[in-house]
Amino acid sequence: MTSIMSIQSSVAYGHAGNSAASFPLMRMGLEVMPVLTVHFSNHSGYGAWRGPLLDPADVLEVVRGIDDRGALAGCDALLSGYLGNGATGETVLAADALLKERNPRAIWCCDPVMGDVGRGFFVREDVPPMFRDRILPHAQVVTPNHFELDYLVGRETNTLAEILSAAEELRERGPETVLVTSMVSAETDPDTIQMLAVDGSGAYLVTTPRLDAYFTGSGDVTSALFLAHLLATGSSRRAVENTAGSMYGLLGRTLELGRRELALVPAQEEFVSPSTTFVAQKIA
List, for residues 82-104, the tens digit of each pLDDT value.
999 999 999 999 999 999 999 99
| Angstrom distance (rounded) from CA 3 to CA 250 | 23
What's the pLDDT score for residue 9?
Answer: 96
Q: How confident is the model at residue 30 (pLDDT cuts 50, 70, 90)?
A: very high
What pLDDT does residue 250 have? 97
223-264: per-residue pLDDT in tens?
A: 999 999 999 999 999 999 999 999 999 999 999 999 999 999
d(CA 131, CA 110): 9
Label residue 116 by pLDDT band (50, 70, 90): confident
Q: What is the DSSP string of 121-144?
A: E-S-TTHHHIIIIIIGGG-SEE--
DSSP code, position 1: -
Question: Residues with Cβ < 8 Å from 120, sequence gap 6 or more?
Answer: 147
Instruction: Strand 281-282: give its sheet, edge to edge.
Output: 31-40, 3-11, 77-80, 107-110, 141-142, 177-183, 192-199, 202-209, 281-282
Q: What does the pLDDT read at residue 1?
A: 85
Asked whether the predicted pLDDT for residue 118 surpasses 80, the reply is no
Q: Is the pLDDT of residue 40 over 80?
A: yes
Mean pLDDT, range 57-76, rounded to an integer: 98
121 pLDDT above the threshold of 90: no
Q: pLDDT tens for residues 138-153?
A: 999 999 999 999 999 9
Confidence of residue 122 (pLDDT cuts 50, 70, 90): confident
Q: Are 40 and 49 in contact (CB under 8 A)?
A: yes
Q: pLDDT tens across 192-217, in order?
A: 999 999 999 999 999 999 998 888 99
Q: What is the structure's pLDDT at 284?
A: 84
Q: What is the mean pLDDT of residues 95-123?
A: 93
156 C-beta neighbours (distance < 10 Å), count: 12
Residue 104, pLDDT score: 97
pLDDT at res. 117: 82
- Helical spans, DSSP H, in the chain: 18-27, 56-68, 86-102, 127-129, 146-153, 160-172, 218-233, 236-257, 269-272
pLDDT confidence band for 127 (50 / 70 / 90): very high
Q: Tell me how far apart the alpha carbons of residues 203 and 48 are, in angstroms, rounded to a whole number.
A: 40
Question: In whole angstroms, what is the distance from residue 236 CA to residue 233 CA?
Answer: 8
CA-CA distance, 261 to 248, in Å (whole number)?
15
The chain-wide mean pLDDT, for the chain, equals 96
Averaged over 106-116, what is the pLDDT?
95
| Higher per-residue pLDDT: 185 or 34 | 34
* 103 Cβ contact partners less than 8 Å away, ≥ 6 residues apart: 72, 73, 74, 75, 76
Q: What is the pLDDT of residue 212?
A: 83
Which pLDDT belongs to residue 161? 96
Contacts of 13 (CB under 8 A, 6+ apart): 41, 42, 261
Query: Residue 17: is its pLDDT beyond 80?
Result: yes
